[in-house]
């Protein structure tokens, strides 16, 4: 791990990159190649801490097929995307830099259509394409992270892979980033042939849960109540007359809900890696 972190921290070069979603220049001290290395290195640790993969290859293939369908119409279709369903009861989805995206058992249990799944994955794909995590790390790099990199490079055992993974995922997106991911994700899912109403339904599902419980998703994302309005306005202004868009209720039932494992009382009870 030392060489990876040393290369990640010590080889930074000051500069900006254009966000392909907004067209704006943003501070970016991390290269796209380093994005991929960060994701590749820490994805196994994330899976471990989040209960591991759901043990059903057909379900995993279905999740991946929906994610790849959406990713192909993004501004970065040639990035190698990895979509994984995790055996964790929290209601959440999140992405590591470089195309590593995760959705939890708890989230999958609450969805009812393929369009809703596409909406969740499209939202996370936008975060990857916009390089939101790399931008946050660039803005918050600071002396502590530089010291961390030097310590790890020097063989210190003070910071483990698990601790660094927690630090990366602990970075929280701004409300502007989340709005961008909602609206950009809706654009992606429509391009991929999915009904954009699925994005609105996700927020309604989360709003309903917000009244009953305090999911980790709720603590790391803006209120879904405030997001339904602008999503409905976007559908009305751009997508209301598009015919034949996919919902996929029966396919989701057959491919996901019928294959989800029964709840295990030993599943992690609380998400330790809260992220958007």
CA atoms within 13 A on the CB side of 222: 14
Instruction: Indicate the angle between helix axes 114-130 and 57-71, nearest 10 degrees.
Output: 60
Dihedral, 127, 129, 131, 133 alpha carbons, nearest 10? 30
Q: Pick from 22-36, 41-55, 244-258 the range whose average pLDDT is largest.
A: 244-258
Query: What's the mean pLDDT in 245-267?
Result: 88
Residue 225: pLDDT band with limits 50, 70, 90: low
Contacts of 245 (CB under 8 A, 6+ apart): 115, 190, 193, 194, 195, 196
Residue 173 is predicted with a pLDDT of 86
| pLDDT above 70 for 221 | no
Residue 222 is predicted with a pLDDT of 55
Residue 162 is predicted with a pLDDT of 73
Structure tokens at 147: 């010291």
Kindly report, residue by residue over 132-157, the tens digit of the pLDDT.
777 777 666 553 454 344 344 444 44
Give Cα separations from 204 to 71, 209, 239, 245 (angstroms).
24, 9, 19, 20
Task: Report H helices in the chain.
Answer: 2-10, 32-49, 57-71, 105-110, 114-130, 132-139, 142-153, 161-170, 175-191, 197-212, 216-220, 225-234, 249-252
| pLDDT above 60 for 96 | yes
| pLDDT above 80 for 11 | no
Pair 180, 21: CB distance under 8 Å: yes
φ/ψ of 205, rounded to 5, equals -60, -45
pLDDT-wise least confident of 12-16, 174-178, 243-247: 12-16
* Cα–Cα distance for residue pair 47/50, rounded to 1 Å: 5
Q: Coil, strand, or helix at residue 216?
A: helix
- Of all residues in the chain, the percent with pLDDT exceeding 70 is 73
Point out which residues pair with 8 in neighbouring strands: none
| pLDDT above 60 for 3 | no
Q: Pick from 44-53, 146-155, 205-214 the range whose average pLDDT is largest.
A: 44-53
Q: What is the number of other CB atoms lying within 10 angstroms of the CB of residue 212?
A: 7
């Amino acid at each position: 791990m030392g060489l990876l972190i040393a290369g990640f921290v010590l080889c930074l070069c000051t500069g900006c990159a254009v966000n392909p979603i907004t067209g704006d220049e943003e501070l970016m001290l991390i290269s796209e190649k380093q994005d991929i290395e960060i994701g590749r290195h820490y994805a196994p640790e994330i899976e471990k801490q989040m209960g591991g993969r759901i043990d059903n290859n057909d379900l995993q293939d279905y999740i991946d097929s929906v994610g790849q369908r959406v990713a192909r119409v993004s501004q970065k279709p040639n990035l190698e995307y990895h979509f994984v369903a995790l055996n964790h009861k929290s209601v959440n989805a999140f992405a590591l830099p470089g195309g590593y995206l995760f959705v939890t058992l708890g989230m999958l249990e609450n969805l009812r259509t393929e369009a809703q799944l596409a909406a969740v994955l499209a939202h996370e794909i936008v975060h990857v394409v916009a390089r939101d995590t790399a931008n946050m790390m660039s803005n918050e790099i600071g002396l502590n992270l530089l010291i961390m990199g030097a310590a790890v490079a020097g063989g210190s055992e003070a910071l483990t892979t698990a601790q660094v993974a927690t630090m990366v995922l602990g970075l929280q997106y701004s409300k502007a980033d989340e709005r961008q991911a909602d609206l950009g994700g809706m654009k992606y899912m429509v391009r991929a042939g999915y009904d954009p109403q699925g994005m609105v339904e996700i927020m309604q599902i989360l709003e309903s849960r917000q009244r009953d419980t305090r999911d980790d998703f709720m603590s790391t994302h803006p209120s879904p109540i405030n997001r339904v309005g602008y999503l409905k306005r976007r559908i009305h202004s751009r997508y209301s007359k598009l015919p034949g868009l996919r919902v996929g209720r029966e396919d989701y039932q057959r491919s996901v809900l019928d294959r989800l494992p029964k709840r295990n009382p030993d599943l992690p009870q609380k998400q330790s890696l809260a992220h958007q």
